C-alpha cells in the first residue's frame, strides 16, 4: 500500500467489490440519497463458486426488488437440504416448510455469475455508480479524516478521496490489511475445496430435486448443488495436506473421494465435467474488528465462514445492509464512527459468524456429527438446527438454549454413545 497518493475527485462513499456485499451496500446507500461509487476489478458476469442461498436471505432480495427477476431467471427452487454419510449409513433431510416460519419455504440455487450480475445491475438502477474492470490497488489515510485510494480502471490509474469506505472485496480483505487489523483463524485445520460444474448428476425426485446434498467423509465433505439447465455444482472439501500429499493432482484426489463414497459415486456415475476442476483454499478466519473510523468491512472481506451451511451470501448481504445503515446514521456528522459504534457493528456481524462457527465445529467432529445426524427429537433440537440450516440468526432465547444443549450433547457423545455411532467415521 502506498501512502502518498495524489488526490483529485472527492466522493462521499466508495465501495470496493461488486459481489453480493458490495452491490447490496451500494443499493441501500444510493436509495437513501448518498452517491456511492462501486469499484469492481472484474467485468461482469464472472464465474464465482457458492451457488446455494438460504431462505432468510430472501428478505433483502425482496426489499431490493430483485425477487421477481430471480423468479424469472429460471433458477432452481431450493426447498431444503440433505445431509448423509458417503455410505448412506445415516441420512437427514431438512424441509424449510417444516423447520422455518411461513414465508421462508424456499429460496434459489443460483448460477452466481447471473445472480451477482442481477444484484450489480440493481445497485446501478438504484443510483450507485459502478465502474467495472477497476482494480483498487492502494489505500491511504488522507487529510481531514478522509481516505484516499487509487485504482487501475478503464481510463488508466485514477486517484480519489472518500469520506466513507465499504470494503466488499471478498477474501482479498483489502481494507483489513490496509488498516493492519489482526486476523485469526476460526478453525485450525486448513481445508481446500476442489470443484467444478457437471452435467448428468443424478438428482433427488420431486421437490427434493432442488435440495443441496451434503455428504460427510471421514475427514471432509462434499456438496452437490443442482443448477438450471441440468448443471450441478459438485465440490469436495478436504484437508489441504491431502492435496499436498497428492502433489496437487486435483483430478486424482477428486475422483478418489467420489469413488470411495458409494452415495456420491452413484450420483456421479454418469456425470460429465463442464469445465476443468478448480481449487480454492477454504480455511476459516476473521479480522478482529470490522469497523474503524470511516471504514467498514462486509461479507468475506470481514471474515470467511466455512461454506458447509451455505451461509456466505446471506452473511454478505446482511452485513452490507447493516454497514449501509451504520453509515447512514452517521453521515451528517463531521467525524467517523466512535469506538462504541465500531464495537457494535463488529459484535453484531461477529455474532452471526459465531452462531455458524459453533455448529460447523460440531459438524467437523465425529461425535458432533453423530448427534447432528440423530439429534434426539425430545429436546426439539432439530427445529433449532433447522433454523440455522435456513439461515435464521435472530434466534429466540429458547432456540439458543436448545443449541447450547446440542453443544453439550456433542461433547458427551465423545464419551457415551447418546446417538448411535456412525461406523464409517470411526
Ligand X SMILES: Cc1cc2nc3c(=O)[nH]c(=O)nc-3n(C[C@H](O)[C@H](O)[C@H](O)COP(=O)(O)OP(=O)(O)OC[C@H]3O[C@@H](n4cnc5c(N)ncnc54)[C@H](O)[C@@H]3O)c2cc1C
Task: Name which of 16 and 238 has its Cβ closer to ligand X.
Answer: 16
What are the two backbone dihedrals, phi and then psi, of residue 168, each rounded to the nearest 5 degrees?
A: -125, 35
Q: How far is the CB of 54 from ligand X (least distance, A)?
A: 7
The cell for 123 is 445497485
Minimal distance, residue 19 CB to ligand X, in Å: 2
- For ligand X, which is the closer residue by CB, 297 or 422? 297
Please list, in sequence order, all residues whose beta carbon lies within 8 angstroms of the beta carbon of residue 360, skipping any fewer than 6 positions away. Answer: 187, 284, 305, 306, 308, 309
Q: Where are the beta strands (DSSP E) in 79-176?
A: 80-85, 91-95, 107-109, 129-131, 135-142, 146-153, 156-167
Q: The cell 450507485 sits on which residue?
A: 128
Minimum CB separation of residue 173 from ligand X in Å reads: 9
Least distance to ligand X, CB of residue 215, Å: 14
CA 117 from chain centre, in angstroms, equals 17
What gap in Å lies between CA 181 and CA 424, rounded to an integer?
Answer: 42
Residue 190 or 380: which CB sits closer to ligand X?
190
Residues that bind ligand X (CB under 6 A): 16-22, 39-42, 48-52, 135-136, 168-170, 172, 174, 193, 235, 280, 282, 299-301, 307, 310-314, 316
Q: Is 256 buried (19+), middle (13-18) or exposed (0-12) by CB count in 10 A?
A: middle
DSSP state of 52: B
Least Å from the CB of residue 313 to ligand X: 3
For the bound state, the minimum distance from the C-beta of residue 340 to ligand X, rounded and expressed in Å, comes to 25
**Nearest-angstrom CA–CA distance, 271 and 277:** 13
Amino acid at each position: 500500500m502506498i501512502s502518498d497518493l495524489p488526490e483529485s475527485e472527492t466522493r462521499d462513499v466508495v465501495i470496493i467489490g461488486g459481489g453480493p456485499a458490495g452491490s447490496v451496500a451500494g443499493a441501500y446507500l444510493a436509495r437513501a440519497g448518498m452517491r456511492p461509487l462501486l469499484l469492481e476489478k472484474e467485468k461482469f458476469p464472472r464465474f464465482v463458486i457458492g451457488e446455494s442461498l438460504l431462505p432468510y436471505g430472501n428478505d433483502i432480495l425482496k426489499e431490493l426488488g430483485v425477487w421477481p427477476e430471480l423468479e424469472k431467471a429460471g433458477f432452481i427452487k431450493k426447498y431444503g437440504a440433505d445431509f448423509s454419510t458417503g455410505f448412506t449409513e445415516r441420512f437427514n433431510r431438512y424441509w424449510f416448510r417444516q423447520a422455518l416460519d411461513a414465508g421462508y419455504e424456499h429460496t434459489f440455487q443460483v448460477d452466481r455469475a447471473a445472480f451477482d450480475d442481477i444484484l450489480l445491475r440493481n445497485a446501478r438502477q438504484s443510483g450507485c455508480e459502478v465502474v467495472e474492470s477497476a482494480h483498487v490497488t492502494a489505500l491511504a489515510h488522507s487529510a481531514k479524516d478522509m481516505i484516499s485510494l487509487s485504482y487501475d480502471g478503464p481510463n488508466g490509474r485514477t486517484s480519489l478521496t472518500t469520506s466513507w469506505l465499504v470494503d466488499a472485496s471478498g477474501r482479498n480483505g483489502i481494507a483489513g490489511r490496509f488498516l493492519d487489523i489482526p486476523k485469526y483463524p476460526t478453525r485450525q485445520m486448513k481445508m481446500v475445496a476442489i470443484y467444478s460444474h457437471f452435467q448428468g448428476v443424478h438428482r433427488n425426485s420431486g421437490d427434493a430435486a432442488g435440495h443441496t446434498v451434503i455428504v460427510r467423509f471421514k475427514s471432509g465433505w462434499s456438496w452437490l448443488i443442482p443448477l438450471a439447465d441440468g448443471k450441478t455444482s459438485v465440490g469436495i472439501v478436504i484437508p489441504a495436506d491431502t492435496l499436498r500429499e497428492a502433489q496437487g493432482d486435483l483430478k486424482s484426489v477428486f475422483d478418489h473421494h467420489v469413488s470411495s463414497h458409494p452415495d456420491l459415486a452413484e450420483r456421479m456415475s454418469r456425470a460429465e465435467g463442464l469445465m476443468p476442476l478448480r481449487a480454492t483454499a477454504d480455511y476459516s478466519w476473521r479480522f478482529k474488528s470490522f469497523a474503524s473510523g470511516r471504514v467498514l468491512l462486509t461479507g468475506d472481506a470481514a471474515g470467511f465462514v466455512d461454506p458447509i451451511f451455505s451461509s456466505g451470501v446471506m452473511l454478505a448481504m446482511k452485513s452490507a445492509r447493516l454497514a449501509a445503515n451504520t453509515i447512514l446514521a452517521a453521515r451528517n456528522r463531521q467525524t467517523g464512527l466512535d469506538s462504541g459504534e465500531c464495537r457494535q457493528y463488529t459484535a453484531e456481524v461477529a455474532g452471526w459468524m459465531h452462531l455458524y462457527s459453533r455448529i460447523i465445529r460440531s459438524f467437523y467432529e465425529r461425535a458432533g456429527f453423530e448427534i447432528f445426524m440423530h439429534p434426539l427429537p425430545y429436546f426439539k433440537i432439530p427445529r433449532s438446527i433447522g433454523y440455522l440450516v435456513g439461515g435464521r440468526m435472530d434466534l429466540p432465547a429458547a432456540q439458543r438454549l436448545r443449541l447450547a444443549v446440542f453443544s453439550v450433547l456433542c461433547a458427551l457423545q465423545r464419551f457415551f454413545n447418546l446417538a448411535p455411532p456412525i461406523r464409517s467415521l470411526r
